Structure 1
């Protein structure tokens, strides 16, 4: 694929990630958004429908992951990197969801910050920011 098309395609996918973030309030059920926007260390966690929250977190993670994996594939066009990314995203999802459920069900004030960061890993494409430079370094060090 020509470099120009790669840049256009990656830019489009980055815009998709931005759209997910921009329209998060209308697309996804997440009572924790307002909770963490306020002075959450002094408040109490809002009541929530746990099943609906987990479904929406999972959908959002899947969308962000699919787009992120697409960016990685377009950038490097390497099937082994693609396979590694899919497996890594799946394992990270299982770990983050397990931690999130544990923190929500056993919430105490001192765990609010941990809940904030685990939730952040689930709803934002942070793994992309880690994997892109790692794969780039791997590719240039292989030469």
Structure 2
């Protein structure tokens, strides 16, 4: 329960905790605006920190739900692979300013800063856990 509240607090206080010039940009009518200028180094550090926090709380939630070190290892691998793909994609997309790129950028950023993978992993592990138990 504490991890869920912590994830909620990360979301509530995101403007105060992290450097993210895209928060206000994506809350506006961003399809009509140019991408905002941002400090790439600061954005990388901030996003890595936020992604790490989401990973930590996701791992804690999965541990308390399933008590399986194999699921924790799988979670770490999924998060690492997703990070490499998403972060690379984000900076490639951020170098373009086309209409379709802005929507892609919106969703890639969303996967980076929100614990969406938690909502994918928990039911997946639940299925695996119940399948192993019944065999």
Q: Same fold (TM over 0.5)?
A: yes
Which residue of 2 is the match for residue 23 of structure 1?
13
Aligned residue pairs, count: 133
Give CA deviations for 1:38-71 in whole Å, capped at 9, x if unaligned: 0000111111111111110110000001110111
Q: CA deviation at 1:106?
A: 2.6
1:33 equivalent in alignment to 2:31? no
1:99 equivalent in alignment to 2:85? no
Normalising by structure 1, what TM-score?
0.90
The question of whether the paired residues in 1 share the 8 Å contact of 2:50 and 2:113 is answered with yes
The root-mean-square deviation of aligned C-alpha atoms, in Å, is 0.8
Which residue of 2 is the match for residue 62 of structure 1?
52
Give CA deviations for 1:56-105 in whole Å, capped at 9, x if unaligned: 01100000011101110111001111111111111111111010011112
Distance in structure 2 (CA, Å) of the matches to 1:93 and 1:37: 24
Task: Please give the residue correspondences for 1:1-143 in structure 2 after superposition, counting only pairs within 5 Å.
Answer: 11-142=1-132, 143=134
SS at match of 2:29: coil
Unaligned ranges ≥5, structure 2:
none
Give CA deviations for 1:10-38 in whole Å, capped at 9, x if unaligned: x1100000000000000001000000000
Distance in structure 2 (CA, Å) of the matches to 1:70 and 1:80: 13
Q: CA deviation at 1:109?
A: 2.5
